[in-house]
A and B are shown apart, each in its own frame.
Chain A
Amino acid sequence: AQSVSQHNHHVILSEAASLELGCNYSYGGTVNLFWYVQYPGQHLQLLLKYFSGDPLVKGIKGFEAEFIKSKFSFNLRKPSVQWSDTAEYFCAVNAQRNNYQLIWGAGTKLIIKP
């Protein structure tokens, strides 16, 4: 069965620290990959996506992610986090053969200490 695993459920960092959130998926064939963010009290927003081409994708608010096909990974990174990055981050994958339904990781709660 297809699945997405996020390595850390909770991450606490200080402002200006670098961030890397892990995401691995179990899914054969061609996939699309996404990172969504859910700020406190707000709805899910797309941070970035990968469909094809350059495996290093840049998203909003200084986030980027790298698709490593051989490792089935799509890790999210940010060089220097801000207090406003406190949120829950979800990795998700979809594919044509499943009519593009999104399969989600369990999420990582990120807390940035000011």
Chain B
Amino acid sequence: ETGVTQSPTHLIKTRGQQVTLRCSSQSGHNTVSWYQQALGQGPQFIFQYYREEENGRGNFPPRFSGLQFPNYSSELNVNALELDDSALYLCASRTAGGSYEQYFGPGTRLTVT
């Protein structure tokens, strides 16, 4: 069973640029969630995708957008990067029913300078 994978591991961008982060779900999982974890804080929910549709969103501006593909992999796009976007971005996958336990990837560390 393949776990959740994310790429890249680390990324450095300049303020104002755009970034795309990628996530491959654990095999058999059709729901993907993205979280932002700033240094010293707990993760914050960004949004969730189920069967290629966004079905939940946290308190993040529209410049945070996402996609889910037919194979259930996912992307997180952030436009017009700001310094405060520097964080660890976590992807988690689960099945739509059952225990609702989420399985996390290792994260992508984004630094905005």
Q: Are A43 and B106 in contact (CB under 8 A)?
A: yes
User: Does B7 make an interface contact (CB < 8 A)?
Assistant: no
Chain A, range 25-41, C-beta contacts under 8 Å to B: 32, 34, 36
User: Does B86 make an interface contact (CB < 8 A)?
Assistant: no
Stretch of B13-21, B63-71, B95-103 that contacts chain A: B95-103
Complex alpha-carbon distance, A49 and B102, angstroms: 11
Choice from B35, B44, B56 contacting A99 with Cβ under 8 Å: B56
Which of A4, A44, A98, A107: most chain B CB closer than 10 A? A44
Q: Are B41 and A106 in contact (CB under 8 A)?
A: yes
Known: A99-B48, A99-B55. Is A32-B42 also a contact (CB below 8 A)?
no
Q: Tally chain A residues at the interface, Cβ within 8 Å.
A: 24
Complex alpha-carbon distance, A4 and B33, angstroms: 19
Q: Are A90 and B42 in contact (CB under 8 A)?
A: yes
Complex alpha-carbon distance, A34 and B104, angstroms: 13
Contact partners of B56 in chain A: CB under 8 A: 98-99, 101
Chain B, range 81-105, C-beta contacts under 8 Å to A: 90, 92, 94, 99-105
CB of A21, distance to nearest CB on chain B (Å): 13
Contact partners of B58 in chain A: CB under 8 A: 101
Known: A43-B104, A43-B107, A44-B104. Is A102-B45 also a contact (CB below 8 A)?
yes
Q: Are A49 and B101 in contact (CB under 8 A)?
A: yes
Contact partners of B55 in chain A: CB under 8 A: 99
Contact partners of A72 in chain B: CB under 8 A: none
Some 28 contacts from A to B, beta carbons below 8 A apart, are: A32-B100, A34-B101, A42-B106, A43-B104, A43-B107, A44-B90, A45-B104, A46-B103, A51-B99, A94-B100, A99-B50, A99-B55, A99-B56, A100-B94, A101-B33, A101-B56, A101-B58, A102-B33, A102-B43, A102-B45, A104-B35, A104-B43, A106-B40, A106-B41, A106-B42, A107-B40, A107-B41, A107-B42
- A-binding residues in B (CB < 8 A): 33, 35, 40-45, 48, 50, 55-56, 58, 90, 92, 94, 99-107
